[in-house]
């Protein structure tokens, strides 16, 4: 716990460098990737994680490969998350094997090398350096590691591997010579709970990823204007990522304007933006294999219309109420429930909900649970203490069971409201199983003229929250979100 106290103080000092509420937007991020360099102390994290895991192996093995080769030329190489999390090693075509053996618990293999790989991929790290940096008990050649994997599989022991790597799973099953899928279990069963609580070094990468993303969003606010294409905004965003040493986004950038702001996972980013549009950007730089996930919604011409302002402020109020609930001892879904309460109340006052206890009316506007874990995966691993469906069924006054929050967890909070052009027309199709058709017709008649004013308004505001002993730290606090601040920067 003590390490989070010092981290908190460190972040407090950092936040003193800027003035999030004021007019100047100093984001504490520099072009300096030296924090990604190998240090002996950074290697201790990887060793600590492995030791935790090895203690729980009891006769079974972990076999991970650094990555599959399927998408080799299409995307930049990035190691498999479990492989990296447990080794710190990033070479393509390598294996890590953890065994319940006190003398040789960690085996690493060097990638296959030939004159051809030397010509195409350059020289590899010398073996001595691999040994020294990554500290395997045993370093094997590619061929030797394949033999070792084969012999482990032949013993009939349980093998933990990344089951999302389907090619490797099929390969292991073939080696086993029988259709014994049960023996190959998901490594997440052992690792995910460790990944849920972030170590200080992980938080530092997440903070930097957030700061780079905040810089990208601020740059967009400065450059955005009508008649630009969405992809030009995407270029400002991803150009900023690269400028600060983020090799790639953590997920496809969502840059949706006007009607596209109402599409939750819009991706083409090809539309020409118009005067009066909203622009929704759900983006995240990846840094040190950790990704930010921040959403901001801005008016393309720099000024919110009264209707946009109404919806924006409602979502912002909901989001702020949610962040207040995000502290140790409270539950994972308490933030979502607080946001839901504010939104349902606001929509009822606006005449967009006629019955605040109606499940289907609430679900018509609130489309997803507003939080997920964040880390190496944008929807990071870890048990949330309930399912999507359970999280969606509750009306604001009902209580909901989910996981208790602990210091070191990082989760998003992203309430949103989306007024699709044909939203009301789709009501019957969405809710035919649970709502009475006369009831729906009455709803459409009452709400229709009001809904009309908000068509093509899509607002989502998303921050990344670190739970601390004292409450939380908003890692994405440098990305402006108050109406006045956004309009000021866009002026
Ligand atoms: Mn998200």
- Say how many Å lie between the CA of residue 415 and the centre of ligand 1: 10
φ/ψ of residue 472, rounded to 5: -155, 165
- Say how many Å lie between the CA of residue 284 and the centre of ligand 1: 9
Q: Return the residue matching tokens 């874990």.
A: 373
Domain annotation for the chain: domains and CATH numbers = 36-195 (3.40.350.10), 198-490 (3.90.230.10)
What does DSSP assign to residue 445? H
- Say how many Å lie between the CA of residue 37 and the centre of ligand 1: 28
Q: What is the mean pLDDT of the chain?
A: 91
pLDDT at 70 exceeding the cut of 80:
no
- Say how many Å lie between the CA of residue 106 and the centre of ligand 1: 35
- Say how many Å lie between the CA of residue 407 and the centre of ligand 1: 20
**Cβ-based neighbours of 297, under 8 Å, separated by 6 or more:** 261, 278, 279, 280, 281, 312, 315, 458, 459, 460, 461
- Say how many Å lie between the CA of residue 388 and the centre of ligand 1: 14
Distance CA(369)–CA(392), nearest Å, equals 6
* Token output for 59: 């006769």
- Say how many Å lie between the CA of residue 295 and the centre of ligand 1: 8
- Say how many Å lie between the CA of residue 265 and the centre of ligand 1: 10
φ/ψ of residue 279, rounded to 5: -125, 120
DSSP codes, 346-365: HHHHHTS-S-TT-HHHHHHH
Q: What is the pTM of this model?
A: 0.92
pLDDT of residue 124: 84
Taking residues 88-111, report their average pLDDT.
93
- Say how many Å lie between the CA of residue 214 and the centre of ligand 1: 15
Distance CA(187)–CA(61), nearest Å, equals 10
377-403 pLDDT, tens digit each: 999 999 999 888 777 876 666 667 889
Question: 488 falls in which pLDDT band (50, 70, 90)?
Answer: very high
- Say how many Å lie between the CA of residue 293 and the centre of ligand 1: 5
pLDDT at 24 exceeding the cut of 70:
no
- Say how many Å lie between the CA of residue 235 and the centre of ligand 1: 21
The number of C-alpha atoms within 13 Å of 215 and in the hemisphere containing its C-beta is 22
- Say how many Å lie between the CA of residue 129 and the centre of ligand 1: 39
pLDDT of residue 75: 73
131-168 pLDDT, tens digit each: 999 999 999 999 999 999 999 999 999 999 999 998 89
- Say how many Å lie between the CA of residue 459 and the centre of ligand 1: 14
Taking residues 322-331, report their average pLDDT.
97
- Say how many Å lie between the CA of residue 137 and the centre of ligand 1: 39
pLDDT at 71 exceeding the cut of 70:
no
- Say how many Å lie between the CA of residue 141 and the centre of ligand 1: 40
In three-state secondary structure terms, 246 is: coil
Helices (H), 65-223: 81-87, 115-121, 127-134, 142-155, 166-176, 188-196, 200-223
- Say how many Å lie between the CA of residue 484 and the centre of ligand 1: 24
- Say how many Å lie between the CA of residue 185 and the centre of ligand 1: 28
pLDDT of residue 15: 46
Share of residues in the chain with pLDDT > 90 (%): 77
- Say how many Å lie between the CA of residue 258 and the centre of ligand 1: 20
* Token output for 51: 């030791």
- Say how many Å lie between the CA of residue 45 and the centre of ligand 1: 27
pLDDT of residue 201: 94
pLDDT of residue 16: 40
Angle at CA of residue 387, ends 383 and 392, nearest 5°: 135
pLDDT at 5 exceeding the cut of 80:
no
- Say how many Å lie between the CA of residue 412 and the centre of ligand 1: 6
- Say how many Å lie between the CA of residue 283 and the centre of ligand 1: 9
Given CA atoms 332, 337, 339, 340 in this order, what sign does their dihedral have?
A: positive
φ/ψ of residue 107, rounded to 5: -110, 135
- Say how many Å lie between the CA of residue 172 and the centre of ligand 1: 34
pLDDT at 343 exceeding the cut of 50:
yes
- Say how many Å lie between the CA of residue 246 and the centre of ligand 1: 19
192-231 pLDDT, tens digit each: 999 999 999 999 999 999 999 999 999 999 999 999 999 9
């Amino acid at each position: 716990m003590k390490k989070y106290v010092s981290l908190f103080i460190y972040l407090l000092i950092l936040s003193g460098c800027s003035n999030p509420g004021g007019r100047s937007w100093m984001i504490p991020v520099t072009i300096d990737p030296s924090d990604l360099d190998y240090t002996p102390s950074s290697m201790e994290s990887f060793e600590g994680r492995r030791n935790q895991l090895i203690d729980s192996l009891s006769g079974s093995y972990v076999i991970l490969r650094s990555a599959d080769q399927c998408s080799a030329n299409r995307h930049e190489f990035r190691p498999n998350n479990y492989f990296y999390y447990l080794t710190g090693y990033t070479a393509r075509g390598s294996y890590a094997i953890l065994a319940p053996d006190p003398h040789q618990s960690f085996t690493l293999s060097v990638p296959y090398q030939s004159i051809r790989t030397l010509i195409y991929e350059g020289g590899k790290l010398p073996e001595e350096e691999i040994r020294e940096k990554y500290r395997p008990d045993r370093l094997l050649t590619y061929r030797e590691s394949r033999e070792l994997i084969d012999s482990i599989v032949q013993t009939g022991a349980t093998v933990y591997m990344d089951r999302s790597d389907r090619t490797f799973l099929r390969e292991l099953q073939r080696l086993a010579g029988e259709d014994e899928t049960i023996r190959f279990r998901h490594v997440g069963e052992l690792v995910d709970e460790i990944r849920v609580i972030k170590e200080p070094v992980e938080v530092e990468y997440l903070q930097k990823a957030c700061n780079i993303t905040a810089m990208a969003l601020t740059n967009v606010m400065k450059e955005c204007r009508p008649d630009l294409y969405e992809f030009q905004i995407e270029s400002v965003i991803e150009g900023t990522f690269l400028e600060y040493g983020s090799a790639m986004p953590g997920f496809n950038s969502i840059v949706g304007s006007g009607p596209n702001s109402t599409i939750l996972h819009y991706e083409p980013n090809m539309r020409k933006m118009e005067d009066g549009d909203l622009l929704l950007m759900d983006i995240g730089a990846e840094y040190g294999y950790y990704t930010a996930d921040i959403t901001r919604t801005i008016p393309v011409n720099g000024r919110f219309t009264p209707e946009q302002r109404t919806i924006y402020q409602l979502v912002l109020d909901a989001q702020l109420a949610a962040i207040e609930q995000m502290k140790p001892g409270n539950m994972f879904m308490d933030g979502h429930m607080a946001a839901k309460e504010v939104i349902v109340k606001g929509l009822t006052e606006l005449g967009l909900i006629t019955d605040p206890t109606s499940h289907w009316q609430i679900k018509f506007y609130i489309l997803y649970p507003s939080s997920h874990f964040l880390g190496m995966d944008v929807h990071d691993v870890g048990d949330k203490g309930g399912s999507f469906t359970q999280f969606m069924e509750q009306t604001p006054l009902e209580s909901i069971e989910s996981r208790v929050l602990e210091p070191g967890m990082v989760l998003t909070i992203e309430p949103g409201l989306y007024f699709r052009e044909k939203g009301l027309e789709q009501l019957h199709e969405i809710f035919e199983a649970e709502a009475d058709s006369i009831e729906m017709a009455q709803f459409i008649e009452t709400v229709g003229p009001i809904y009309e004013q908000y068509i093509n308004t899509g607002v989502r505001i998303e921050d990344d929250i670190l739970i601390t002993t004292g409450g939380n730290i908003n890692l994405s606090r440098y990305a402006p979100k108050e109406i006045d601040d956004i309009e000021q920067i866009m002026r």
